[in-house]
Structure 1
Amino acid sequence: MGESEKRERKLRRLFETLAPVAAFSKQQARQRCPDLTPQFLAATLRDLVREGILDRYETSQEETFSWRDARVRSDPDPWISRQINGSQVTAQPEGERPRERLLAGGAEPLSDADLLAILIRVGVKGESAIDAGKRLAKTYSGKLSDLRRASKDELRRISPAVTVTSYAAIMAGIELGRRVSRHEKLHRVSSSPITSTSAAVKYCDERFGGLAISGVQEEFHIVTLSTKHLPINTHFITRGTLDASLVHPREVFRPAIRDSASAVILVHNHPSGDATPSREDYQVTDRLTEVGRLIGITVLDHIVVASEGSVSIRETA
């Protein structure tokens, strides 16, 4: 009998003995499987915990395990097959491995599957990181943006190589990429003067996109501009239903004076999703425009941002 057949027989023995038991200690596992060596038993239990098939609890007296993945518990054959026949990254020629290709030629030429394999980093027995990357890329082909909303269990159902560690790496990689992209967009719009309604709307769409989509209360902000109408900074002013008494000119223009701003853009959101300006929005705009004229700071525009699109009050007045 070959080594693979011996290992397969041991794994089947372990599942036949322990799968009927909802929870067991390491000592109980040894007692139930006396024909398996403690080393083999410990290593297999460790693999099952790492892959999220077993949960492990430890007290001062003992280690206890309970089944988490009911599918593997009831049908271990696919898992056992991967342990015996699966491929690993180390079996790939070094020049074909995603990480080495990234280091040699950068990340841009790599496929989605390659990038995911790098984030997963380490496979499990029977499922390499490359295999896992291909599975995830195929599942999310054409809808890659949905990946950031996937739960750990959802990704684990696609590939057992998605452990807690690799799931955290994937989510962190997605969030970091989102922040880099957002920073690049803000840098581009911040380096261009805002001299028109369309430029003001575009800037506020980029800068306040999160507020437009997920804001649950009205918030009032300002964008301060230089003499060339380049953005200097943004400032949060107040939160709550917009009206003239809430948005006091003193609070609006204090940060603008501190920034030595020549002009400002007023910005607030509509949590309803509809950016259509209200009567109060026009009243606040008129009042702040008049105060700005008196102190020498131009109110260039007032942009209402919302999930259904942004609107310039100057354009609709």
Structure 2
Amino acid sequence: MIDTRRERLQRVLTPLVTMPQFSAAQAKSVCDSSPAYVTSTIKELVRDGYLERTVADDESFYRWRLPGQFEPERWIEQQIHGDQITETPEQERPRERLLRDGAASLSNADLLAILIRVGVRKQSAVAGGRLIANRFADRLQDLPRCFREDLREISATVTKVSYAQIMAGIELGRRVASAERDHQRSTTKITSSQAAIEFCSQEFARLASDAVQEEFHIVTLDTKHKPIHTHRITVGTLDASLVHPREVFRPAIRDSASALLLVHNHPSGDPTPSREDHQVTEQLTDAGRLLGISVLDHIVVARDRCLSIRETA
């Protein structure tokens, strides 16, 4: 019976994973299985958070929530054997895989399962981790702001203990990342446009990937051109008439900075500087000369790459 069920699930999943979006009728037409079995399989995929139902032009469609990340064979194994930890081969359990292959090899769902630790009746820690990971797949940055009740609505495995463990893990990760950034700043010297690009691509990675508006920041530098601090100056479309030198250089003077980097993002993903970007650079460079604070470069960060305005001038 196990082989028969495996084959039936494979006949449904094989064509569906190649389709980013499909209706129930389209799924039934391409799957070599009974319409009722296709429907029940789709419902299971929705329940597990891999598919989501949408409506377009008064017609219902299903689309994959995690394109390219869904693993059909693993999901089939879970359907056949269940995903209780005790039912999973020891070498495939999240904790054992972490010890064997390292934490970086685990998915977000696996990491959450380790933090949850213990499942509840009818739902394992693995299932709970998967449900939470799928819900926050495209907005992981929102997870730290959730209350226990928010996560409890997603999975019953989020008890007081498991919620505390998840939040403690997130906070520890933040502190480690902050310590790494501080160490990087203490050892980094911005001596070229390429060094500025490399620093900003790491320091402002989240700004490049997640921000929906333009943000203007500065990086203050000491006499050896080592980073001191970063400061956000404005949010909104960059315009020379809106970025006042007083607002830019006030934190630089407070930091006793010798020089600074200008940084802003392009949410469009294209880092090509605009005419306004060049105007802002020139205006602030001139103001810096009067104050004795050098503007070394202006870096535009975007999803795919960072770009130096000095190099494009």
Q: TM-score, normalised by structure 1?
A: 0.53
**Unpaired segments ≥5 residues, structure 2:** 1-81, 87-94, 144-149
Answering whether residue 190 of structure 2 is matched by residue 190 of structure 1, we say no
Partner of 1:291: 287
Change (3 A) 1:125 1:252: closer
* 1:211–1:246 Cα change, 3 Å: same
Query: Which residue pairs with 1:249 in the alignment?
Result: 245
Cα distance between partner residues in 2 of 1:292 and 1:111: 46
Q: Contact between 2:113 and 2:128, CA under 8 Å: does it hold in 1? A: no
Contact kept? 1:152, 1:164, Cα under 8 Å: no
1:49 equivalent in structure 2 = none
Q: CA deviation at 1:194?
A: 1.3
Give 1:132 shift. 4.1
Q: State whether residues 264 and 300 of structure 2, in contact with CA within 8 Å, keep that contact through their aligned partners in structure 1.
A: yes
Q: Whole-Å Cα distance in 2 between the matches of residues 239 and 201 of structure 1?
A: 21
Matches within 5 A, 1:79-98: none
Aligned pairs for 1:72-221 within 5 A:
118-124=114-120, 132-133=125-126, 162-163=157-158, 165=160, 168=163, 171-172=166-167, 175-176=170-171, 178-180=173-175, 182-191=177-186, 192-221=188-217
Change (3 A) 1:172 1:310: same
Give the CA deviation at 1:162.
3.2
In the TM superposition, residue 179 of structure 1 has moved relative to its aligned partner by: 2.1
The residue type paired with residue 182 of structure 1 is A
User: How big is each residue's C-alpha offset from its partner over 1:26-66, in whole Å with a ceiling of 9 and x where there is no partner?
Assistant: xxxxxxxxxxxxxxxxxxxxxxxxxxxxxxxxxxxxxxxxx
SS at match of 2:240: coil
Number of residue equivalences = 217
Counterpart for residue 78 of structure 1: none
In the other structure, the counterpart of 1:266 is 262
Shift in Å, 1:168: 3.7
How far 1:276 sits from its partner (Å)? 0.6
Q: Distance in 1 between matches of 2:105 and 2:153?
A: 22
State, as a whole percentage, how many aligned pairs show the same letter. 54
CA distance in 2, matches of 1:310, 1:175: 28
1:225 to 195, 217, 221: 221
**What secondary structure, in the 3-state scheme, does the structure 2 residue paired with 1:268 have?**
strand
Amino acid aligned to 1:222: I
Distance 1:115 1:240 in 2: 36
State the shift of 1:271 in Å: 1.6
Q: CA deviation at 1:300?
A: 0.7
Structure 1's 201 and 153: CA in aligned 2 closer, same or farther, altered over 3 A?
same
2:265·2:300 contact (CA, 8 Å) conserved in 1? yes
Partner of 2:308: 312
- Within the alignment, does 1:234 sit opposite 2:263 as a pair? no
DSSP-derived class of the 2:217 partner: strand
- Give the letter for the 2:242 counterpart: L
Work out which of the two has the higher radius of gyration on C-alpha atoms and give 1 or 2.
1
Q: Shift in Å at residue 304 of structure 1?
A: 0.8
Distance 1:178 1:148 in 2: 17
2:114·2:125 contact (CA, 8 Å) conserved in 1? Answer: no
Instruction: Calculate the TM-score normalised by the size of structure 2.
Output: 0.54
The alpha-carbon distance between structure 1 residues 123 and 316, as it changes in their structure 2 partners (threshold 3 A), is same
Cα separation, 2, equivalents of 1:175 and 1:313: 36
1:219-275, Cα deviation, whole Å (9 max, x unpaired) = 211111000111111112122221211111121111111111100101111121111
Tell me the alpha carbon deviations over residues 271-297 of structure 1, each in whole angstroms, 9 at most, x when there is no partner.
Answer: 211111001111111111111112211
Give RMSD over aligned pairs.
4.8
Unpaired segments ≥5 residues, structure 1: 1-81, 89-97
